[in-house]
Amino acid sequence: MSHHPRLSVNVNAIAQLRNRRDLPWPSVTGLARIALEAGAAGITVHPRPDERHIRRTDCYDLAHLLRSDFPNREFNIEGYPTEEFLALVEDIRPDQVTLVPDLPGQSTSDHGWDTIGEADLLRPIIQRLHHPNATINPALAAYKVPDMRVALFVDAEPGVARAAATIGADRVEFYTGPYGHTFDVTDKAARLAELGLAADAARDAGLQVNIGHDLTLENLPALVARIPFAAEASIGHALTADALIYGMAETVRRYREALVPPRS
């Protein structure tokens, strides 16, 4: 059975659309359910301090949805590791916590951690997430509680990827924005080569590899062909935009298809 990256649907853009009005639609959990029923392997959220898209309540609602109705799918919560964020994930215990170096006001992620220079910051946080002291939220305690896997959001640099392994990370998620942003053929090939070499380094260091940011139906096939061993692709903005055209279920089907590498 061939391996290929699993699709985690980022529902931030759905929440942002909902938050334009004081109304409960589009429903974050409702569309997450459609995505999961269509075969998505998981759901990703990135709650920010100002709750401009995903709210804390969404995190709990999605945790209930996944644990009760889709126990074999994964919940990935990403964010900057403030004490408030760490307390949130300790309370919910998602399958994966992806740490990103975003400032509070950033509209979206645009760079990865310096895993060498910021090792002293990250190492104890990773250790805490692997061995949480706080107890899980009582409303979620009835379900199977997973160990939290820790991924670090990093740029496509082999040394940075290798350093992530030395400070205890389980995975890296490569920031694929520079690859997704460019439409110049030569530049795109260079960005793809960088991602490939960094992913090879991460794998050789014993890490699993995630990919995310500005991934589309058009640019996924070449990336997956180069990094077929990637574990997960987290996709939100383009997937949500495509869902306005094709519907969520059909869009998930298309992205799952795009994540299957071509047969050699």
Active-site positions?
46, 78, 213
Q: How far apart are CA 43 and CA 9, in angstroms?
A: 5
State both tokens at 210: 């995630």
Angstrom distances, CA of residue 214 to CA of 48, 58, 89, 228: 19, 23, 25, 18
**Which residues, at least 6 apart from 113, have a Cβ–Cβ distance to it below 8 Å?**
99, 100, 101, 122, 152, 153, 154, 160, 164
Q: Are 233 and 210 in contact (CB under 8 A)?
A: yes
Burial class (CB in 10 A: 0-12, 13-18, 19+), 103: exposed
Within 13 Å, how many C-alpha atoms sit on residue 94's CB side?
A: 28
> Which of 20, 55, 38 lies closest to 239 in space, CA to CA?
38
